[in-house]
Amino acid sequence: MNLSSVSLVLAFLMSGAQCSSAPIDLPESASADSTASGGTAASDTTGASLRIRAVGDVMIGTDFPRGYLPPDDRSVLTGVHDLLQDADLTFANLEGPFLDGGSSTKCAPTSTQCYAFRTPTRYGQYLADAGIDMASLANNHAQDFGEEGRTSTMEMLDRLGIHHSGRAGTVASFVKNGRRVALVAYHAADHSNWLNDEPAAGRFIAEVAATHDVVIVSFHGGAEGGRIHVPQGRETFLGEDRGDLRLFAHTVVDAGADLVLGSGPHVPRGVELYKGRLIAYSLGNFATYGRFTIRGNTALAPVLEVTVGPDGAFEAGRILAAKQVGEGIPEADPSGAVIGLMRELSAEDFPDSEATVEADGRIVRRTAGR
């Protein structure tokens, strides 16, 4: 399938259909509304709510360099199936391509200081088995094996029925619980939907929102190195502009995004309820096998649950606690450590948020006097 043309034509001919579509690969000359609905406006707001779960970075094994695949292919996610499957939709940021073969110009095979990942395509089934049905391909590892790697990943996800966005111009559009849903994934590089051009992001999301009931935006941005707070202004890391995350998140919500899901710093960050829409500034690492530093805050693996109404507005939310152990295997965390951290960060970084994180992980709208 030619992902830059066939999906463009087909993705929105299913305006009233109840099946998923392939992501839209928009050519530079097209606008979002010319492809996002086939000219059909978003449906009415009398349908069902959506309960969404989301996790951060997922890299469940790499054969580049050799020696970083789990002894049992299926072992990385099996312990958290219950956490991932209990939702209408489950999202993850896929940190690296799924590809058999190919070559990388990013790192030499023997390098110990450069990180490039390549997950065998057979591992894709383990994502589907775990319940993941939405994925971001917009991050700093998406092109570890060039466009060949990202195309292989997109084709694999299409076969598995996992909705995805990432390459510049792509929007995943599908119907769930009678609602037209869009996923748009951003990253701080222009080979993906570009995080650092906030006005363009706002215009694009406004066009997508005009033809969808629920718009989910993900981003991969922010400085690495244990930076748990969301600063005012732009963040940089190793000389790279990693975005002004507050500005970006508020811009896309103002334009019509209903849920914003962040990753990139490899640690959890706080959440903010802004104009009735939830923003999670980083969901950290979730399942990062073999090649990641896993200790302290980088081992904490939150599962965010958000229920949005028929019109996309926040109805309820909670943080479920997990952690990574060993080489990067996620499991439920009875201690609830990540809840305490995200509660503290949310209060410190977003004192004007319309919601608070409670001690049990519930995200609760503020009432008068709170």
Q: Where are the alpha helices (DSSP H) in the chain?
A: 6-10, 32-35, 81-85, 124-130, 146-160, 198-209, 245-255, 337-349
Tokens read off for 218:
């993900």
List, for residues 159-191, the tens digit of each pLDDT value: 999 999 999 999 999 999 999 999 999 999 999
Residue 370 confidence (pLDDT): 59
230 touches 250 (CB < 8 A): no
- 5 pLDDT higher than 80: no
Write phi, then psi, for 198 (nearest 5 degrees).
-65, -40
List, for residues 37-88, the tens digit of each pLDDT value: 233 344 454 579 999 999 999 999 999 988 899 999 888 999 999 999 999 9
Of all residues in the chain, what percent carry a pLDDT higher than 70? 85
- pTM, two decimals, is 0.88
The mean pLDDT value of the chain amounts to: 88
Looking at residue 281, its amino acid is Y
205 touches 255 (CB < 8 A): yes
- Please list the residues that pair with 162 across neighbouring strands: none
CA-based nearest residue to 45, from 278, 253, 213: 213
Res. 368 pLDDT band, cuts 50 70 90:
low
DSSP type of residue 312 = S
